[in-house]
Structure 1
Amino acid sequence: MFDAVLFDCDGVLIDTEMLALDLEVDFLAANNFHYDRMDFARAFIGMDGIAMRAQMARDYEAQHARSIPPTLFDDMWAARDAHFKTHLTSIADAEKSLTAWTGKKAVASSSKIEHLKTNLTQVGLAHLVYPHVYSADQVERGKPHPDVFLFAAEKLAANPQKCLVIEDSINGVKAGCAAGMTVWGFLGGGHVWPELTDQLQSAGAHDIVSSHAQLAEKLKKASPEKTKV
């Protein structure tokens, strides 16, 4: 059925999104920059850093009628990365999905490439996906644009129209659909909010899976008989 499976990382393989969400919203509030948690999640989960920086700069100016402090982004992300070093975990049964699919696979994420490699190694998943780990840093535009998924498909020598994307975010689903790929929305991360199922479907998700146990079973059924990577 599929030439390859492309996994998002944050919120699909690694449970970073809730950690990042809580830390970032609290950090910004301590600096008199306020977001509702769910509004922040809906707007920014799955978005690449460049687009996030630009939108937050606009939001800050709207709140304060002046430019955002120049170090606020970097200070926030430094605090987040330090927190990840001691609190990061994989999402339950993520390794089952990665091993259930025996064909070509890659990670295609909005996170910086060095963070992807560090975080996947830290939670013990790196050996299941290397060397096919790709970042929005490596393409012109991040999600919700399709560039990183098309880049990953090219590296795998896979037909984009026969690729399956596993995504937890609205921006990611839009990116996968824009690439002409089949997209399954994933609800197994710690950050999921009640409306997310409908929002992922509205963004174009072709199916919804609630956990890696469910995803692994579906991938096992769709998996080729022999590994092609």
Structure 2
Amino acid sequence: MTVLFDAVLFDCDGVLVDSESITNRVLRDMLNEAGWPITTQECLQQFIGKTVRSQSARIEQHTGKPFTEGWLQQFYARRNVALTAELVAIDGALAAVKSVHDTLGGRIACASGADRAKVEMQLAKVGLAPYFEGRVFSGHETPCSKPFPDVYLVAAAAVHVDPARCLVIEDTLTGVQAGVAAGATVWAYFPAHQGHADASDLLDAGASRVFDAMGDLPKLMLAATTSGQGLSR
């Protein structure tokens, strides 16, 4: 059987690992401590899918304090302590990744906007690292991070697949925009508890499908192959 996609490129946070609420809590606490009384929901909406560094001007505006490398490194350290203690895989992600990895002969990659140390630590903690060995890519290491396509273009090149034959799995507007800009088909993972976007926003950004259970990914890919539908172009 000919597969519809030749490779699958996964985002990490919120797609493979349930990290968003943990990281957001640490960031909220540190912003509160710095003088910005931002709420949990406001923090999620304003920072999801973005690097903290890219929001330095906003942080300075609301805290009245300079954004420093020392503060950022403290955030990374506190975040990593919390992630190490609490992180789990997205429900169904382990089985889905294994299935897709086997079906596509290993042509999968993880393309994240987060720093490499965080991504690799998270994948190792939840048991996903073996499936992405040598194929983990960080937007911190490309000229531009999401919503620009750079990290997905690098990932597609690494697995030797034309981006147009790649399926990108994302959960944020920023990530969907990056995948679309790369020329890939984007499916948006949108679980019922999602609190930082609307499914319609993800579709408007260019996602060709929204699904709510990561464990369903292999059968959705099979259904798309059988029907010949699913490619956005």
- TM-score interval w.r.t. the shorter chain? 0.7 to 0.9
Distance 1:206 1:74, change over 3 A: same
Deviations 1:14-39 (A, max 9, x none): 11111111221122112212324333
Distance 1:72 1:112, change over 3 A: same
TM-score by length of structure 1 reads 0.87
Amino acid corresponding to residue 105 of structure 1 in structure 2: I
Query: Residue 44 of structure 1 is aligned with which of 21, 43, 47?
Result: 47
Identity of aligned residues (%): 32
Are 2:114 and 1:123 aligned? no
Give 1:101-112 correspondences, 5 Å limit: 101=100, 102-103=103-104, 104-112=107-115
Are 2:135 and 1:132 aligned? yes
Amino acid corresponding to residue 54 of structure 1 in structure 2: S
How far did 1:209 drift?
A: 0.8
Query: Residue 189 of structure 2 is aligned with which of 167, 177, 186?
Result: 186
Specify the alignment match of 1:198 in structure 2: 200
Contact 2:172–2:197 under 8 Å retained in 1: no
Specify the alignment match of 2:31 in structure 1: 28
Contact 1:6–1:107 under 8 Å retained in 2: yes
Contact 2:35–2:63 under 8 Å retained in 1: no
Contact 1:100–1:217 under 8 Å retained in 2: no
Deviations 1:182-218 (A, max 9, x none): 100102396x117431221122111001011222321
Are 2:148 and 1:145 aligned? yes
Specify the alignment match of 1:158 in structure 2: 161
Distance in 2, matches of 1:116 and 1:61, equals: 27
Distance in 2, matches of 1:76 and 1:42, equals: 18
How far did 1:112 drift?
A: 1.5
Specify the alignment match of 2:94 in structure 1: 95
Distance in 2, matches of 1:38 and 1:219, equals: 33
Higher relative contact order (CA 8 A, sep 6+): 1
TM-score by length of structure 2 reads 0.86
Contact 1:188–1:211 under 8 Å retained in 2: yes
Distance 1:222 1:106, change over 3 A: farther
For structure 1, the 5+ residue unaligned runs are 225-229
Distance in 2, matches of 1:54 and 1:166, equals: 23
Distance 1:135 1:109, change over 3 A: same
Specify the alignment match of 1:75 in structure 2: 74
How far did 1:46 drift?
A: 1.9
Distance in 1, matches of 2:216 and 2:159, equals: 25
Amino acid corresponding to residue 3 of structure 1 in structure 2: D
Contact 1:14–1:89 under 8 Å retained in 2: yes
Are 2:12 and 1:9 aligned? yes
Give 1:48-63 correspondences, 5 Å limit: 49=51, 52-55=52-55, 57-63=56-62
Specify the alignment match of 1:227 in structure 2: none
Distance in 2, matches of 1:194 and 1:111, equals: 18
Amino acid corresponding to residue 180 of structure 1 in structure 2: G
Deviations 1:155-204 (A, max 9, x none): 111011111100011110010011111100102396x1174312211221
